[in-house]
A = this chain, B = another copy of it.
Amino acid sequence: MGLIVQKYGGSSVSDAESIKRVAKRIVEARRAGNDVAVVVSAMGDTTDELIDLANQVTPLPPSREMDILLTAGERISMSLLAMAIANLGVEAQSFTGQQAGVITDDEHGKARIIDVKATRIREALAEGNVAIVAGFQGVTEHTNDVTTLGRGGSDTTAVALAAGLDADVCEIYTDVDGVFTADPRIVPSARKIDRITYEEMLDMAASGAKVLMLRCVEYARRHGVPIHVRSSFSGHEGTLVTDEPYEGEGQMEQPIISGVAHDSSEAKVTVVGVPDVPGTAARVFEVVAEAGVNIDMIVQNVSAAQTGLTDISFTLPADDGARATAALEVAKDALGFASLQYDDTIGKLSLVGAGMKSHPGVSAKLFGALRDSGINIEMISTSEIRVSVVTRSDQLADAVRAVHTAFGLDSSEGEAVVYGGTGR
């Protein structure tokens, strides 16, 4: 018994039947004696349909109006969910981001939550209601304009509301059973992780694990909100994301490796024949940054002595590839490079685990496993609790399986699980 915030994504409320099923689950939590606040996304493909409508009207929708349009989606799902709960005999009220006190900055389309003044939600809970809150949306403090939070927005709403209400846990319901040691579509023997730290989850999310968005985990860590990632299709316990040290049964210490993440959405740009003098790299990446592109990994070759030239490679989201290369071409003479190479057939594998801090040899074991499988490593980057390598994209799945096995992550039961993407 306590105060629970639950979040359901678009795929969990895609039609009337699934809304009724979610309502039943919420009512169970309420009848078990908990206070329950629920954050909900727009139904199924509603958001995409609304974007399509806007594009039919204008190629350049003003962002303020786009936010008003998109927030209609949660308005529909939240009121229907409140109705479905009321139909089961439990009082429920729905609230817009504004009514729930979700205050944001005024960056329409990608606003950040400044504060959650959840007075009305607290009152609704105190009166015994289930409170349904629209995910993905907020309101600016002074102009009272509607904003949306961008990708991963509803998860962030849920965590922020849990922080604002000082909830015991924030349950993120999705279409998988939790966070896995690898993507089960690639590694059928992947195991569900029972517990993971914020830091590890951040590195998993940043390395391509899609089950939780980075910003939501960041918010949870900053405010100490425990997240429970679980399936809306089963009653299983999921994955608990928290900062408490792991104390599993019969296990004396934290496992060294939490999981293997992969990401095939990146591309590699190589700037060929750059003068190998101080400041060159800085100028290259200034040009890329001015184009609004975030880069991930960077490798600079050793200079060939006789030419005084070198090559710089970096990875970036493939979606930003055209923008970055166009900016570099414009600056070609100023930067003095010979040519650009663009390669979107790369894959990135990341091994994440807080235990590797105190266990040397993790990188060596990783490289060995890849070598034994005949997989070439093109780039390497490491952090305190993560090692990432770039391979050919068509070798990525083999690489993930090899590393997963080498680090003893394979499930003995070989359980079958279903894995899919998450809603916003």
Which among A82-90, A162-170, A258-266, A391-399 touches the partner chain?
Answer: A82-90
Contact indicator B69/A93 (Cβ below 8 Å)? no
Known: A76-B50, A144-B99. A87 touches B57 (CB 8 A): yes
A147 CB within 8 Å of chain B = no
Among B78, B80, B87, the residue within 8 A (CB) of A53 is B80
A60 CB within 8 Å of chain B = yes
In Å, the complex CA distance between A226 and B120 comes to 41
Chain B residue contacts of A53, Cβ below 8 A = 16, 76, 80
Contact indicator B69/A75 (Cβ below 8 Å)? yes
Contact indicator B60/A87 (Cβ below 8 Å)? yes
Contact indicator A83/B62 (Cβ below 8 Å)? yes
Query: Which of A57, A72, A82: most chain B Cβ within 10 A?
Result: A57
Known: A60-B87, A62-B86, A144-B99. A54 touches B68 (CB 8 A): no
Contact indicator A72/B69 (Cβ below 8 Å)? no
A20 CB within 8 Å of chain B = yes
A71 CB within 8 Å of chain B = yes
Chain B residue contacts of A79, Cβ below 8 A = 54, 65-66, 68-69, 72
Query: Which chain A residues in 78-116 approach chain B with CB under 8 Å?
Result: 78-80, 82-84, 86-87, 92-94, 96, 99
Contact indicator B65/A83 (Cβ below 8 Å)? yes
- Distance in Å from the Cβ of A140 to the closest Cβ of chain B? 12
Interface residues of A, Cβ cutoff 8 Å to B? 16, 19-20, 50, 53-54, 56-62, 64-66, 68-69, 71-73, 75-76, 78-80, 82-84, 86-87, 92-94, 96, 99, 144
Of all A-B residue pairs in the complex, the 3 with the closest CB atoms, nearest first, are A16-B56, A58-B87, A69-B79
Given contacts A57-B87, A58-B83, A62-B86, 7 further A-B contacts (CB under 8 A): A53-B76, A53-B80, A58-B84, A62-B82, A65-B92, A65-B94, A72-B72
- Residue pairs across A and B with Cβ atoms less than 8 A apart, 23 shown, are A16-B53, A16-B56, A16-B57, A20-B57, A53-B80, A54-B79, A54-B83, A57-B87, A58-B83, A58-B86, A61-B86, A62-B83, A65-B79, A65-B80, A65-B82, A65-B93, A68-B82, A68-B94, A69-B75, A69-B76, A69-B79, A69-B83, A72-B72
